[in-house]
Structure 1
Amino acid sequence: MPTSLFEEILRRNPGEAEFHQAVGEVLESIEPVLTARPELADARLIERITEPERQIIFRVPWEDDQGGIHVNRGFRVEFNSALGPFKGGLRFHPSLNLGIVKFLGFEQIFKNALTGLGIGGGKGGSDFDPRGRSEAEVMRFCQSFMTELSRHIGDRTDIPAGDVGVGSREIGFLFGQYRRITNRWDAGVLTGKGTGWGGSPVRTEATGYGNVLFAAEMMKRRGEDLAGRQIVVSGSGNVALYSIEKAHALGARVVTVSDSDGCVVDEKGIDLELLRQIKEVERGRVSDYAERRGFSARYVPGGRVWDVPADIALPSATQNELDARDALSLVRNGVRAVSEGANMPATPEAVRIFHEAGVAFGPGKAANAGGVATSALEMRQNAGRESWPFARVEQELTAVMRRIHDTVHETSERFGEPGNYVLGANIAGFERVAEAMLAQGLV
């Protein structure tokens, strides 16, 4: 890693631990390509690629149902548009700050590059917490948020989507306010819309589906498959739910889910319909699932899914949720593959342990690219005023995930570390962005 450059990045971005972690991983991975292709280093591309093109922070005032006034902070980091318009989700979560948005946006550059679909990297959101808020409160917040964000987005400029805390409900409120402000029906300005008004089939399922497909490709490369395998999944949100659905469809058995209070272990396999009822309809907790599932499920307050024996682990909750202790536990219990459904859920120490143990490890910028890939397919449908059937979109998603896997694996082989998906993903994504930046001059 270019030490002096990393020190300069730390100095210029103080207190942004997640951003430092993401940049550090990429800088360490791309050293071989900088040695092999000195023209990329000479153009000071690393300095440029680690500095966002634009960082937008704004005030979001809104009124609750009792007439109380609240002020949250909104963010949009437009990181790199060398390959196309900025593309990346909006996250509503009380922990959100500029450092987290920058980490997510930086990761998005390479994730989007790996899809090959002509989209740049960006991210945004707010420290607003939608949990426990009424529909009317969420609507008023979204309208206030979009009133400012609308100045900065467009189908050829920056196309946000959903992320943690931003589902189809929030996207609907955001799109309605954008349409009200602009007096235009620009379906392509937001993705993750409802299928009845410009959205794409499979967009809701895409991140979870894509992660399982990537894990299946890693296993296939080893001469194995998912059928009959036991899988542990963390989280219980959108990514977790559809990871479970796809894993079950491929013949595996998922035995865990979790939330911030603890985890559930269900020896018979997670009952997906019951979990959906509790999480999506009732907005309940995983402890409610264990209570209603019966004798096969147990709830572990404060428990970690990583202590449960499994062939495959799919971390699908949040950043840095899987640490060195968890990795050692998974390795002791015989895990064969780990694929990141969330963004950077495994710490650097955990990733090192997996590599040393010979565990196939799929980094999020490759493994969870299914969501943004399907967003790009939604943009394509919007541009042509088309609506594709579910089967076609799923077929396109499957092809994209296989292409990403093969690109990443072939890149790891080209640089002498076959099966090192972290190195392969970082180098393949970096090369695509760097070549576009070189071609477009000093901008």
Structure 2
Amino acid sequence: MTDLYARHQAVLPDWLATYYADPIELTHGEGRHVWDAQGNKYLDFFGGILTTMTAHALPEVTKAVTEQAGRIIHSSTLYLNRPMVELAERVAKLSGIPDARVFFTTSGTEANDTALLLATSYRQSNQILAMRNSYHGRSFSAVGITGNKGWSPTSLSPLQTLYVHGGVRTRGPYAHLSDADFIAACVDDLKDLLGHVRPPAALIAEPIQGVGGFTSPPDGLYAAFREVLAERGILWIADEVQTGWGRTGEHFWGWQAHAASGPPDMLTFAKGIGNGMSIGGVVARAEVMNCLDSNSISTFGGTQITMAAGLANLSYLLEHDLQGNARRVGGLLIERLRAIAAQHPGVREVRGRGLMIGVELVKPGTDEADPDAATAVLEAAREEGLLIGKGGGHSTSALRIAPPLSLTVAEAEEGAAILEGALRSVQQ
């Protein structure tokens, strides 16, 4: 592994981060487990950053990809593409957006890029509202609206971004308020901001902030925001790259926790739908999607082999009620982790819903983030056979737990026990 890591460092960018002091090479997986090049087996609680949504090496997806590869892999959007039309029909219906149109991309970054292009073109404005502590991708425009300085290497941008309160419930100037008062204060702040600027094109928001450490506002915040935005014609883009497809358990989409205002004008998706294949996309009502007045295509977005994977994966997800499994098993896992946290003064909060869980670490007896502890817990968990992620806003001090949605109760208990041991070892 040392040799491969040295080669990695010699030919790839310095900023292309890897986990662990001694990075591991994953060679194969099955179900909720993966193996490294040394033959070590791990319970996977991160799924390649929430991307292996159903299971590793899911036979239904593997079969669909293999069969499609034997016919045709790619043609571009210049030709009719049956798998792309079929998946678009299913996604449009599931989205909840009326008269929906779907455009496929190869990543969540590109999906958010497209949504920004549509919003700014439709509204004839380059101003975007985004949430503090947010993350929307790696491209120039997506970095420009990301409200997390750890993932925003430049302040240069083609957009003017205005950052709004509300994405983090338990930190910041409104943390001490009740949920209702928190929402009211954030709405008042939004109204005040809009009183000082020309009307922006859109608000883009993750229902649960992913890279930000799985933080979220009280349910209903974005519905309240939507009322203010709609009065001014401002669009609402729900970034569902990490929250979509039932991961939160209670809802198929994260925006549905704020459903009083109805669906967003646009939603973006990626990650889990392909179960590892590169699929992203935008769903928008036709009026918005069709606003562009020049030609466009996608070379790799919607290519046949990824669409075949998406169709098979979505069918498996729905037929096996993995949303319900995320709700049931995720609920048990969250309660188990909260019981563990009660015994560890370095755990500030266990938050999330379904199988999207954050564990925020602080220096014991303080409210100060402890990124070193998060790194140490990550290492200790790996030593005992558990892979997790990390994230956070002010510092990377939150553990991120997001297993495949087919996680069993026994596997949830196994992972929680390993995590408990890792927390104890680091605390000692």
User: TM-score, with normalisation over the residues of structure 1?
Assistant: 0.30
* Structure number with higher relative contact order (C-alpha < 8 Å, ≥ 6 residues apart): 2
User: TM-score, with normalisation over the residues of structure 2?
Assistant: 0.30
